[in-house]
Structure 1
Amino acid sequence: MPFTLATWNINSVRLRAGLVQKLLAEEAPDVLCLQECKSPVEKIPFELFAEMGYGYWAARGQKGYNGVAILSRMPLQDAGHIDWCGKGDARHVAATLENGVTIHNCYIPAGGDVADREVNEKFGHKLDTLTEMRDHFGANQPEKSILVGDLNIAPREDDVWSHKQLLKVVSHTPIEVEHLGNAQHAGGWVDVTRADTPEGQLYSWWSYRARDWDAADKGRRLDHIWASGDIAGAAHGSRVLRAARGWEQPSDHAPVFASFDL
């Protein structure tokens, strides 16, 4: 059953429900994973997406912060969630498709502005979340699984506009890259996007602070699609929909896509 999956930090699903509809209408992924929904589950406008054929969903939400949702036009079964660090944050939800593929939708903490856990609790929270992810998937080796989301780390030198200038900037510091790499390795995850696009600059996020984000092009690849080793070879067609960053009242993230022939 071939299918296409997209992941997108929407930065408020209620505020940008129209952009979600635009993406579903124009790109028609079979599954869309959203992060930073910033809404209790009961207030997410699922009825708007159901009218477009996306009548299946799994979500975790909270008022004003975090929040993850999986929209699908294929039947799925809610497969629970992991409460990273026991904070009650809505940062993970899983769902299983009829073909047996389990999708993990994750929103890793951004980590604040200072890359030092001794003075910045948010940075410590980020590192601890990644450690728990490492331990969880190390102990529960994923099979027939896909992990997507805003992981808030650009791991490679060509995942940022300037490796040298961003080495001390949260999202690209060596300790974050190490923690993300450990989590990926422990679970045997394959970075599908970079398997398809092994070389060259590639971004999925551009700051709101840039007066002309497109011309400045100071981006980072913060949004990822990973697959367990047993199905990674079925992935293809990875791309970032850069144009969505230029839509009216956009998220600062662009959707990332991959297709799977399973």
Structure 2
Amino acid sequence: MKRWTVGLSVTAVLLAAGCGKPAGTDGDLVNGWSALAAPAVPKPSAGECWTFKGAADKLVVGPELVEVECTASHSSETVHVGEFSGALAQQTSVPAGAELIDAFAACQTQANDFLGGDWHDGRLVLRVLPPSEKQWKGAAHYYRCDLVEVSDDTNTIAPRTTSLKDTLRGNRPIEIGCVKVETDSGGGIEDFVPAKCETLHNGEYAGTFYSPDARPYPSDSGARRALLQPGCKTIVARYLGLTEAQFTENKQFSFAWSTASPTRWSYGDRTARCYLMLEGNLSVSRSLRGNGNAPI
């Protein structure tokens, strides 16, 4: 105990001796330095490209989304980065669903300008991506708009090594065009796979139908058909150069559509891609745009 007491006393003396200010100092340890800024979540920028795994509709922010050079193989390209504002920016949870309507509308405007046409006309998926919960809590209140090229209507990613900029201008290399309609054993449609029009195919993209109002996703198949069938019929008939009555009478043709998912519908993508289809075993090796009633 004596040795402990002595040792403590010596230490106390040494500490006391060190309490004086060195010559030429004011005793302020930070010496007027400003405080370090709070760490910020890195913000993405338009023009960046990324890799990730899975289908395009699985694209989310997180560790699997890795930035790469746009000249390297990549899965998505950021075309715009915006900021949430007002009440959305103040809430504690990340905006989702209908809260993304304004952000998605901005993404569509930016994407269409970037591409040179409506992104629905291309082999593309447009995603609006808010931050992760962790990033949001770190005051990252931005959203990003990413375009992904796909190889079919089930959103299988088609990796690229060049930018998508202007790909719906000029000869429109990313345009959907002709397709092969894949069906199951019962005749149900499984996929629309893009094909070169000079190869045999049995379908063709005719245009996109937009819901005339902001109604919720028609979860009932009958309600969905009542909304989408008349719209797509008009688009397909016009594509062929026929009136709707003429189209109804022509036994060579039918049509189908691919609807945006309920999630996408909730944030403003209230659309269906409309496809012209050939009946039975008919196929062609040319475009049917303006075909009218000419035989196949």
TM over 0.5: no
More strand by share: 1
Give TM-score scaled by structure 2 length.
0.21
Give TM-score scaled by structure 1 length.
0.23
Relative contact order, CA 8 A, sep 6+: which one is greater? 1
